Amino acid sequence: MLNLETVFSNPILKQSNNLLKVRICFYSISYVHLVVVASLLLTIDFSKSEDPNIRLYQQTRWKLITAWFNLFTMVYFPTCIYCDWRDLRGEAHWRHVKILNQFRDLCFTSILLPTTAFGDILFWRVWNKDRELIAPLKIHEIVPFWTQHCMHTVSLIIMLVDLALVRRERPKNMVPGLALLSTFLIAYTVVCINSYMNEEYIYPGLKQFTGFKIPALIAYFFIENLFYYFSQWLIIDMVWGNGNKKMV
């Protein structure tokens, strides 16, 4: 079994709180990266384009699943920084810090990791097949290619590093986590269906889905997200071991 406890329980590491310091630096860099890239992309004004499909993108970009999980990340990173900073000061036992840590774990395992894995992996699979299914081709001329890696490669790497840096345990009751993930997926599905009914296609590829293909797509959306949700616990068990108390 690959077990990081041997590494992170090193006396020098524990005495100097190096792991907490590493995490604070990691979350800070990740947060700055997210803010910089988001600020750059939000300055692009698609409404000035002569192409009506490009102008429509000014509104639909807020309905992209990437935008949704990144909005959660905007809250998640500062929460992690604050909780680890309090832990570094020996104040992790404070009631509000415990509550924030619970929110942090639930947010990561129930929303961020599953949806980021789904969104990023699917993005590159579709991109390499036909990028016009993701967005109008002219969008790719306006949006720098490197930002695609920032939003759909770096984001997944950050989630995987987070998975390795923070010790977690398989919950005894998965109902709360599954309920939160299901609520997120249902909310996003409703938004997509509403846009589809109004002929406002968040992704051009959705135009190809009619009749029975629509419920099949929704089922695929839920199944793949649930796959990533359950897979993370296998990774956590493998990396951290099962049945041990949290160390940090």
pLDDT at 54: 85
Give me 189's structure tokens.
């599905």
Give the CA distances from residue 77 to residues 41, 67, 103, 111, 234, in Å, rounded to whole numbers and listed in that order.
20, 15, 12, 14, 24
Residue 196: band (very low, low, confident or very high) from pLDDT cuts 50, 70, 90 = very high
Residue 60: band (very low, low, confident or very high) from pLDDT cuts 50, 70, 90 = confident
Average pLDDT of span 113-139: 92
Cβ–Cβ < 8 Å for 248, 13? no
Pairwise CA distance, residues 52 & 234, whole Å: 46
Higher pLDDT, 58 or 196: 196
Residue 124: band (very low, low, confident or very high) from pLDDT cuts 50, 70, 90 = very high
Pairwise CA distance, residues 181 & 225, whole Å: 8
Average pLDDT of span 175-193: 96
Q: Which of 14-28, 31-45, 220-234 has the lowest mean pLDDT?
A: 14-28
Name the region of 244 (left: φ>0; alpha: ψ -120 to 50; beta: rest).
beta
Give me 149's structure tokens.
């890696």
Give me 223's structure tokens.
């199944």
Give residue-wise pLDDT tens across range 214-223.
999 999 999 9
pLDDT at 5: 52
pLDDT at 87: 92
Q: For the chain, what percent of residues have pLDDT higher than 70?
A: 91
Give residue-wise pLDDT tens across range 103-114.
999 999 999 999
Q: Is residue 15 pLDDT above 50, yes or no?
A: no
What pTM value is reported for the model?
0.86
Question: HEC profile for 125-180?
Answer: HHHHHHHHHCCCHHHHHHCCHHHHHHHHCHHHHHHHHHHHHCCCCCCCCCHHHHHH
Pairwise CA distance, residues 52 & 245, whole Å: 56
pLDDT at 3: 54
Q: Is residue 83 pLDDT above 80, yes or no?
A: yes
